[in-house]
Structure formats: C-alpha cells, structure tokens
Chains A and B, each alone.
Chain A
Amino acid sequence: MKQFIAAFVLSAFFIFAAIYGLILAVDPYNKFGYNVFGFETKAVSFARENKYNQVEHAKQKYTAFIMGTSSAHRYYTKDLNRLTGLVSYNYSTQSATPEDYIAMTRHIFTKYKPKLIMISFGFEDLNKFTVTDDMFYSSPLKKHLQEVPAEELERSLFNNSYLTLGAIADSLNVIWVNLFGKARHAYLEHGDHIVEPTDKTLMLSQAGYSEYEIDPKRIEYLKTLKKICDENGTKVVVLTTPLSLEHLNLIRHNPKIAAQFEKYKMTLVEIFGELWDFQHDGIAPYSTLEYFRDSIHPNHHLSTLVLEDIFGTAGPKIGKLIKK
C-alpha cells in the first residue's frame, strides 16, 4: 500500500515535470522566449503572447495599429500601409474584448506614437455575457488594464497559460509541425496572418445570441481609449466587422437581440463620433465563399475591400459611415 502511494506521488511528480519541462522547452506561446529545439515556427493558437512580444521587441517604428478579434486577422498591413502611407501592425487577437483594446492601446503608447488606431468591432465585444478571454489574464497585456485591481487579475498560483491541456496540445503540435510537417507561421511579421485554405461551403456559425446586454464597464474602457488617443493626437477609426447576410439574419431573428444590435452600433457612434458600418443588408452580394471564411470571418479579399472603403479614394462600396 505504501508502495502504491509512493509510486503515485513519484510518477505524478516526474510526469508533471516531464510535461511541463517539454512545454517550457517548446515555449509554444513565446512566453519566455525559449527555443531549446531551434524550431522554425511556434504553431500557437493564441495571438496575445506572440503579438505582445512582437510589439514589445519590434525594430520598426509602427505608426498605425489594427485591433479586433479573429475577424480582424485578415487585414493585410501592406494594404493599410499602401492606403494610408503609414507603417502598420495588426494587433488583433482571438476573442478580444474592450479589455484587450484598452490594454493594447496603453501598451502601444509605451513604445510608439501612432497616428492611427483602427478597431474592428464584433457584436459580441460589448456583450456583458461574453466573458473576458482566460488567455487575456495569463498574458502580459493584463498589467495594462489598470482599472481592475491587480489581485482581481491574478489567477491561482498554477493558473497560467502553460498549465493547460491546450498548452500540451500546442507543444505537441509545434513539435509535429517542425519535425514532420511544413512550418506554418500563424502570425507573420507585423502581426499579419497567414492565408488559410477555405472550406467549400459557407458555414453558418451555430453561435447564436441568447443573452445580450451592453457592458457599462466596457463602455468606460472604450471612452478611456478614445481619451488617450485624443490626448496623443491619434486618430481612431472604428468599424463593425462584416458579417454574412445569413448571420445578420440570425441576429435579427430575435427582436430583443435585434434591438441590442442597433444599440451596440449607436453606442460605438456615441463614443467615437463616427462608425464605419459593415453589418447591414448591403453585405448580401458579398455573402459568399469568395469573401468569407465562415459567416463571421471575412477572408483577405473582403478585408482588403473594407480597408479600401475606409481609406481609399474611390469612395465606399460596402461600408456606411454613421456619424454622431
């Protein structure tokens, strides 16, 4: 019996050390900057760690930043550079919320003096029932969210992004890709995103909207963000990220959610003065696989059209500018 307990404790200890050691050595999210095995790429799922480090250590003096959720991954920085004459970085991350945007803004101003910040908003971003992504709390961005006391941001001793099943899977993925596959650079230089192969059908996301309420805390974060930018003479351009027509219909199917949908846009107009709206029926001709990866993620093609609408000289074709 004693042997059983001893074997349990020892095996647990060594297996834990081996797994955690492997994760640290692979460092899949570039948390510590280790690369023991000299891997060409880190096939990560989460952008926050990587992009934070890229912004922190970049040699370029970026003058424009793109923020948003995964739906903003496909704005090419070269397109924004071409259209604005600025040097841009795409700071968008999966499941971003205004907590990310304010923290990113503060982080950016510690290093750069940007002339432009573009934020691509999703409907869920302002929803009180959309919780802050766990990965935000385990990323260095959290230290820039001064509104929340440090102890509330702290997770338990072991709760960091490397003590997860996801970290094990990602580490194995990194090893697999580097040893047997083709290096897949998820995030390229300047925060750009790789071009992924598309599905053969436009999949309507099963994500519905059962509960929605605009979060007053997030409104305050955005007001602060605007204030910081105004004080530094930085222009803020905000837009609603394109949604396919079928997804728009899904939102408008429920009258309560539809009312919140309008309120969310008006709230953004109220805070930022103007809003480029891409979430309207005018998206109908673009609701195909030529322009969308799925119903909520525009592909590179549509993302480029969005940038041209806002910053180009030909005038908008899809977007509608709503002013206060």
Chain B
Amino acid sequence: MKFFNFHLMPYRHADLDAIERNGSAWVTFSNRHYDPQQGAGLYHEYLDQMEYADRLGFDGVCLNEHHQTAYGMMPIPGVLAGALARSVKRAKLAILGRALPLLNNPLMVAEEYAMLDNLTRGRFIAGFVRGIGAEYHAMGVNPTHSQDRFAEAHDLIVRAWTEPGPFQYVGKHYHFNYVNPWPRPWQSPHPPIWIPSQGSASTIRWAAQKRYTYAQTLSPIAVVARFFQMYRDEAEKAGYQASSDQLAWSNTIYVAETDAKAMREARPHLEALTNRFLKMPTEMLLPPGYSNIETIKRVRAVKVTGKPQTLDDLVKNGVVIVGSPSTVREKLAEYQDLAGFNTSLTKTQFGTLPDDMTRANMAAIAEEILPHFRDRLPQGAQQAAAE
C-alpha cells in the first residue's frame, strides 16, 4: 500500500466557539478571525510537516483547494505545491484537486499543473474536483453549471496536454482561439489524473471509464467499500479489471502507545474537525443544482449536516483509525481487505492538532505502520476479484 500525507491545512487557531455561534466555518465566518501572524506561522509549520513526510518515507504529499473557510488555508494550492516542488525531494506531489468549475479559465490549470510536473520531473499527480457546495456560494459560480463546467474544463485540459497546439476550443462555457500551453507536461501523455469524490455514482462511473484513480473522501469504511465495488463494476462494464492501485481511501490515522492514550489525545482535535471546521447547514453544502434532486433528497433525509459526531462514532464507523500501533495495523489491514484499495491518503494533522503531536504521529505511522504495509495488497475477495 502507498501512503500519502494529506494535509487540509486548517486554520487551527480558529475560535471554535465563534465558529459554533456562526453555524459554520465556511463562507460567512468572518475573516476578522484570521490573524496573519498566526496564519503565516501555520503555513510554514504545515509545509515543514510535508517535507518531514518526505524524509519519513511517505510515498507522497497531498494538497487540496477550498475557499473562504477556516477549514483549510489553500484557496490556491499551486502556491504551496510550488513551494514544495523543490523541497520535497522524493515523494510524489498531488493536488487533490483543483475545483475546475470555479475557474473562468481552466487553461490556467493546464499551465499550472504542467509547470508543477516539469518542476518535479514527473512526480506530480493531477487531481480534479468540482469543489463542495459551499464553494459556489463563496465564489459566485452557478452551481447548476457545476457538472457541465467540470466536464468541459477536464476535456479542455486533457486536450491541451495531449494535442499539439495551437488549436481552437469552442465549448458552451469556455472558448479559446488558441490552445497552445507552454510548458507541456513532463509525464507522457500527461500526469496521472486522480478524482476525489464524495461518492456520486456518475463520477465513479466516469472515473472508472477513464481509468482515473478514484479517491473516496471522508466516509465510513462500509460506504467506501460499496463505492469501490461500484468502481470495479463500472470498470468491468468498460471492459477491464480495475486494479487496487486505482482506488484511494482518504482517512485520518492517529497512533499512540496505547488505544486509550491515542483516543484521549486525538479526541478534541478530531471532534473539532468534524463538528466545527466541517460543519455547515444543508443549504450551504448543497446549493440547488449542485447535485441531482435524488441526491439532495437522500442527503436531506439523513440530515448529515446536523448530527454532532463523537470520536467513538468516527472510530466505530471506520471513518478514522485511532489506536496503538497494533490496533491501527489490524484495522487498516481489515479495511484494505474489505474495500480493496491500495493507496491511503492519510491526514496526520487534523483539526486543532498541534505541531508536536502531529510530528509524533507522523513518525509513529512511518515506523510502526508503513513498513508493515509496504508490499501488502488487498487480501481475500478483492484479491481474488483482481486476479
């Protein structure tokens, strides 16, 4: 299994009570709460952690994009990827991803990603997402155009990487007389494309058809397993057998000497992530047209945005893995076999977790977990299916 250190770069000094009073850390949570002194410190702290992950032997580091929120300080992930392109010496560098529909000019992502692919001499992984619903409030982009713009921007970027320019592109949302980006990507035909999603059936089908790596975001492991099975089924319909390398699970892992200590230490920080940084009302998460009406009805019916979750819920449902080294190894192996993935996108920092605890966690994962999984593939049913 491959391990990527996935950072959300939260503004971990945020006033959690103020977030609670505002109802969300997104869109309407005033940036008066952002202190540039502290924020600058966090950027360097987090970039140092990414470089540390490289030295510890993680296979890659991941950035992502969110706007106008204390949940993550990466509205323009390419800035941080640029900073890491030279200091992360060995590991892959992934942006998971840029939110294509928010862009008025997706050619700039073709350029930005090609630059990063050149800078890293082919260690770059290109993620494309739609962005979550809150982004459409924050950036003034029509959520009913989201799926169309994503499809169009993706097609434009891949063509820009693979077809000799200049050529003309005329879509519904994007129009260019000259598509001819310099530089071209370092990898051929282009950097690997990864598609993180919350589990939309149409996205899973599309990713499987394109043979793009599918990354499942923050979900209970049983749900992850179901979505990964959908991917394998769709691959089969498309005429090939999906490999476990095409499936990545986005999780959180915290390791300490004992289960009790790990739970005690992780609890406030993970609960801050889930119940403060991540919380938002349904109308912010799902603006009209962002998803189809059936999805909106399903989400509203389970009231996912309302319930506070305890660490015990998160552990029990297999959203996160927290415990002693042996517990974490056991759970991770169980989940790998259940869901059949071969990449773990792991948040080692989460919520309000401070630097010293993050680095201890990273070191523990590198020493106690990584070596045991280095050559491990999904066992049992998934393995049989893949053979």
Answer yes or no: do A and B interact: no
Binding site for B on A (CB under 8 A): none
Binding site for A on B (CB under 8 A): none
